[in-house]
Structure 1
Amino acid sequence: MTKPTSLVFCFGLATSLAGCINFIPAYHQPTAPVETKWPVDESANSFSIYTGSNVPGTSKTQSPSPAASNRVSPNEDWRAFIQSNKLTQVIELALRNNRDVRIAILNIQRAEAQYGIQRASRLPNIDLGVTGANQRLSENVNNGNSTISRQYSVDLGVSNYEIDFWGRIQSLEQQALEQYLSTIEARKNTQLSLISSVIESYLTLIADQRLLRLAEETLAIQRDSLALTVKSFNSGVATGLDVARAKTTVATALKDVAVFTSQVDVDINALNTLVGKAVPIYLLPQLADNIGFAPIHVGVPSDVLLRRPDILSAEHQLRSTNANIGAARAAYFPTISLTTTGGLLSTSADDLFSGDSRSWVFTPNLVLPIFNWGELDSQLDVSIADQQIALNQYELAIQTAFREVADALANQATLNDQVSAQQMLVDATSESFRLSNLRFDEGVDDYFTVLDSQREYYTAQQELINTKLTEALNLVTLYKVLGGGWVESDVPMPDSLPSTGALYDSQ
């Protein structure tokens, strides 16, 4: 066997031996530190819809969508949960333009590039080197004779290639891979958060629009009441105190109109920020819009919690720190590296490419740590501490997810009753207000009783709108915390990052 062939054989053998030993601890998925059943039965999750039906400030009665009669799984497309074409279009617009989603995608591309860097370190870098060295030695160092030496070389080879016999580089590669997979799950979580945030912002805008309409209707009623009170005062029936009290109700209604007018504008600004651009006028909600949601099939905790993207991301982080322990353990063993080159070497450029100029270098190197004053021990302790931190963060993520689902189910169990009770209160205060007006017209009660009844009726109507909003938001929260159905095709990954030339052109 010739020497070059021997070098190739040794190099191939060294490469094949890389990673044959691995010190990464065996990974076992931790047991979820939560109960096996939800504290509230799933049957409490009945259909909930936020519509204009029986909502103060609207008059058109609407019914829930027939498509909402079947429960949807959080694994399904989120479009099966939302029963509104306009809201669906707004969400799709947000998924295309929201900056948080774009950042999440860029984080994936960055992690993928980092993984590529680490993966490339398992194989040797082959470099081509061309050098020309010229040196003149003076008379003072060469016995009174000056000389000029020249050396030219062309080399192709590998420099300081670490043979990963103990699996250190493989462990670091596994760590980078888990970090990459974690960013993929983080992107899913960003999409889910964006979808729920857009829905919440949309529903809040509708609620504030209805509160504004209620304030405007109340203002109109109070102005008519003030005009009648002034007329009665001029006729000697009402007192100056009645007029003053009527003016206070008008001023209160004027203030509420101003407050809710600005709040509607603030809600639109918040929605535009989430979407990433101005939402077209035709997609903004109207008072009569029917925003319905399908009921949700909850499932058991072991299935629900382990499919949430944030929990999957935390588990990949745990696997990443587990792989880092393997790299820290491998650092105790000798580092074996190899430098080998082959090429042409000559003292004359004219003879560089002749057959007699062939040369090669084969330099194996072994470094064994002996005295490091506890550095390697500390590095291992750091990696173990990181792994334990990641383990507790993973378990905390599961516990937090369990609590979020349990809280949403608990709220859902009583929110329907809260809405019904608040509707009863609205009906009762409406009747009280009507009777107070009759008694005032007949001279039985003073105007203070009318104002007090009207204030209670107005407050009850506001609370009904807010309670219905809370009911709808809780259902959206339940869908989110169950890991609601994100769709990868909604935000496709770009083929590549922008080129360097494109970046300069943009500047």
Structure 2
Amino acid sequence: MAGVSLVACALVAGCSLAPRYQRPEMPVPSVFSGSENGAANTQNVQNIAQLPWRSYFNDPVLQQLISMALANNRDLRQTAISVKSYQAQYRIARSAQWPTVAAGGAGTKQRAYSGGQYADSEGYSVSVGVTAFELDFFNRLGDQKKDAWQQYMAMAENERSVRISLVAEVARAYLTLLADREQLMISRDTLAQEDKFTALTELREREGIDSRLVLVQSRTVRETARANLAAAERMVAQDINALALLVGAPLPPLPESLLKDHGLFPDETPDLSSEILLNRPDIVAAEHQLRGAYASIGAARAAFFPSISLTANAGYTSNELSGLFNNNSGVWMFSPSINLPIFTAGYLSAQLDVAKLRRDSMVAAYEKAIQSAFREVNDALVARDSYRLQADAQNKIIEAARQYYQLAMERYQQGLDNYLTLLDAQRTLFSARQNLVSLRLAQMGNQVNLYKALGGGLIEEGDITPASK
């Protein structure tokens, strides 16, 4: 009885044979372990998911660089063109549900030899008709159209993912530039100190206070500082080149800012529920792929049923052009056809199996995407707190290293300690300052990772390239 009802429904209304879509359960906890509060607040989740990127990355220079990248980056432009191609494929699938109407005309004039004489003849015709229009009783074409639509929407989400990744990459590149500038400043300060100390050591060596060995050690340390300075200058130049590649256009004049001068991003992210992951473009794309797989099952099932096609045309034909449109010159043709699969050697069953396996594969891909996203957000939340503690400790290390260096210098000048103690103090302070810069960069980079892991922010209409509109 159920089978009869199914066939009747299909014949009357073109019902889909696709199974009803069911979103898989999220295979992760409801809240993140790194969230500051145990309970999730739906309103806060909504606010975070809809936070524009300009509100998150609030540095004016960085905002300008991101806007330029969204307008000029070649990888993003290529992705936008790919989205257009998927949109065209959807239009192809949609057009199959509509009849193809074509008009034509023909004229002939000939002379033939027959019965010992030549005879002239001519003929003219015009017609308009529909060719092989399939009546989609079982929604095979409709399900194929749904599948193509879901593929197009998945590709559009992939483009959004590329946009979010581009925003994050530009932010990281800018932060790296600021950090390397700060490392360059530290290298310059260190070289200046070593120049002064080497001059002092040369004076002490001439007066017989220090040995020749101490002077050679001092000069070695100075040249090491000079080499570090050259490496730091190279890193800054390469950072600018990397940023220009991401932006896709000549860079505007950049202020000589340092990483320590910037607090770029909102510091708090309250009450995070795992439901926010559903805003991530990779998860949205995976769900579109899953919905498309459900539709493909319907199309594969419909292939087992008869298909009915209509071909029809009407027009005029006449032996004389002047009489082509007379009332008695009209012609028409109507040719319905039906195709019922009887034996396909398992082809249709295999097609259905492929569609079901695709659905099962998309379920696994959807669940894996959620699990991966959950880990990324959790890692960023956990790292955020640990970076704060680490930064506090590193600041105390620098303060202690400065005191160590000052005391070592005083004791060396007084002749109470040897040069090796002072050299160790110099290296300790230099390393501590470098480590703090690297730690700040990692801390801000983690905030960028959190922005990306949460699905990014809103892309304004003015930030969308013409190729993607």
Cα gap change, 1:72 to 1:460, in 2 (>3 Å):
farther
**In 2, distance between residues paired with 1:22 and 1:286?**
61
The equivalent residue for 1:372 is 344
Map 1:250-265; keep pairs closer than 5 Å.
250-265=222-237
The 5-angstrom pairing of residues 211-222 of structure 1 reads 211-222=183-194
**Deviation, structure 1 residue 137:** 7.3
In the aligned structure 1, how far is the partner of 2:261 from the partner of 2:271?
A: 31
Aligned residue type for 2:450 = L
Give the whole-Å Cα distance in 2 for the aligned partners of 1:167 and 1:316.
19
Equivalent in 399, 417, 423 of residue 445 of structure 1 = 417
- Paired residue for 1:40? 34
Question: Which residue of 1 is the match for residue 67 of structure 2?
Answer: 92
Unaligned runs of 5+ in 1: 1-15, 45-70, 498-507
How much has 1:274 moved relative to structure 2?
A: 1.4
2:449 alignment counterpart: 477
Tell me which moved more, 113-122 or 153-162.
Answer: 113-122
Whether the 8 Å contact between 1:298 and 1:482 is mirrored in structure 2 is no
8 Å contact from structure 2 (residues 101, 128) kept in 1: yes
Given candidates 123, 131, 134, the residue that maps to 2:106 is: 131
- Tell me if the contact between 1:75 and 1:483 (Cα under 8 Å) persists in the aligned partners: no
Show CA shifts across 1:24-70 (max 9, x none).
110011101111121223259xxxxxxxxxxxxxxxxxxxxxxxxxx
Instruction: Within 5 Å, give how 1:352-367 maps onto structure 2.
Output: 352-367=324-339
> What letter is aligned with 1:386?
R
Between the aligned partners of 1:293 and 1:205, the Cα distance in structure 2 is: 17
Q: Aligned match of 1:157 in 118, 129, 137?
A: 129
The alpha carbon displacement at 1:100 in A equals: 3.0
- Of residues 270, 277, 280, the one that matches 2:252 is 280
Give the secondary structure class of the aligned counterpart of 1:445.
Answer: coil
Tell me: CA distance 1:227–1:18, structure 2 relative to 1, closer, same or farther (3 Å).
Answer: farther
Task: Kindly state the Cα deviation for residue 146 of structure 1 after the two structures are TM-superposed.
Answer: 8.2
Q: CA deviation at 1:188?
A: 2.2
Q: Partner amino acid for 2:19?
A: P
Contact 1:185-1:309 at 8 Å conserved across structures? yes
Classify 1:243/1:280 alpha carbon distance in 2 versus 1 (closer, same or farther; 3 Å).
same
| Structure 1 residues 394-433: aligned runs within 5 Å | 394-433=366-405
Q: 1:310 to 1:34 in 2, by over 3 A?
A: same
Residues 1:30 and 2:2 are matched in the alignment: no
* Contact 2:100 2:130 survives alignment (8 Å): yes
Q: Which residue of 1 aligns with 2:146?
A: 174
User: How far does residue 342 in structure 1 lie from its aligned partner after superposition?
Assistant: 0.3
Q: 2:88 aligned with 1:113, yes or no?
A: yes
Letter in 2 for 1:248: T
Structure 1 letter corresponding to 2:56 = F
Distance 2:111 2:338 in 1: 36
Which residue number in structure 2 is paired with residue 21 of structure 1? 15
Q: 1:117 corresponds to which letter in structure 2?
A: I
Distance 1:421 1:300, change over 3 A: closer
- TM-score using structure 2 length: 0.90
Separation in 2, partners of 1:495, 1:83:
27
1:204 is aligned to 176
Residue 264 of structure 1 deviates from its aligned partner by 0.6
CA displacement, residues 95-144 of structure 1 (integer Å, 9 cap, x when unaligned): 222223333333333332222222121110110011235677787xxx99
Checking the alignment, whether the CA contact within 8 Å between 1:321 and 1:390 is kept in structure 2 is yes
2:88 aligned partner, one-letter code? A
1:293 and 2:260 aligned: no
Deviates more, 1:92-101 or 1:195-204: 92-101
Which residue type is aligned with residue 201 of structure 1? A
* Matched residue, 2:196: 224
Listed one character per residue, the Cα deviations across residues 339-389 of structure 1 (whole Å, up to 9, x for unaligned) are 000001223434322222100000001111222212112221221222222
Letter in 2 for 1:270: A
Aligned with residue 158 of structure 2, among 186, 194, 213: 186
Counterpart of 2:28 in 1: which secondary structure? coil
Deviations 1:239-268, CA, capped at 9 Å, x for gaps: 121112112211211111111111111111
On the 8 A contact 2:27/2:367 being kept in 1, the answer is: yes
Q: What letter corresponds to residue 423 of structure 1 in structure 2?
A: N
Asked whether the 8 Å contact 2:53–2:457 carries over to 1, the reply is: yes
In 2 relative to 1, CA 312–176 (structure 1 residues): closer, same or farther, beyond 3 Å? same
User: Do residues 464 (structure 1) and 436 (structure 2) align?
Assistant: yes
For residues 245 and 417 of structure 1, the distance between their equivalents in structure 2, rounded to whole angstroms, comes to 37
How many matched pairs?
453
Secondary structure of 1:130's partner? strand
Q: CA RMSD, aligned part only?
A: 2.6
What is the Cα deviation at residue 214 of structure 1?
0.3
User: Could you say what secondary structure the match of 1:273 adopts?
Assistant: helix
Superposition pairs of residues 296-311 of structure 1, within 5 angstroms: 296-311=268-283
Q: Could you state the TM-score of these two structures normalised by the residue count of structure 1?
A: 0.83
Q: Give, in whole Å, the separation in 1 of the partners of 2:379 and 2:104.
A: 66
SS at match of 1:292: coil
- Return 488-497 or 354-363, whichever deviates more: 488-497
Counterpart amino acid of 1:228? L
**What secondary structure, in the 3-state scheme, does the structure 1 residue paired with 2:342 have?**
coil
Q: Which amino acid aligns with 2:415?
A: G
Give me the whole-angstrom Cα distance separating, in 1, the residues matched to 2:101 and 2:362. 38
CA distance in 1, matches of 2:15, 2:120: 52
Q: CA deviation at 1:466?
A: 0.3
What is the aligned-residue identity percentage? 37
Match of 1:236 among 192, 200, 208: 208
Deviations 1:168-208 (A, max 9, x none): 11001111111222233223222221221111111110000
Task: Give the letter aligned to residue 422 of structure 1.
Answer: Q
Q: Is the aligned partner of 1:102 residue 2:77?
A: yes
The CA deviation at 1:491 is 2.6
Matched AA of 1:35: P
Secondary structure of residue in 2 paired with 1:345: strand
Q: CA deviation digits over 1:305-346, x for unaligned, max 9?
A: 111122111111111121111111111112211100000122
The CA distance in 2 between the partners of 1:155 and 1:188, in whole Å, is 48
Counterpart for residue 361 of structure 2: 389
Q: Cα–Cα, structure 1 residues 411 and 353, in superposed 2: closer, same or farther, change >3 Å? A: same
Over 3 Å counting, the alpha-carbon distance change for 1:288 and 1:418 in structure 2 is: closer
Q: Which moved more, 1:442-451 or 1:342-351?
A: 342-351
Q: Secondary structure at the match of 1:341?
A: strand
Q: Is the 8 A contact 1:74 1:485 kept in 2?
A: yes
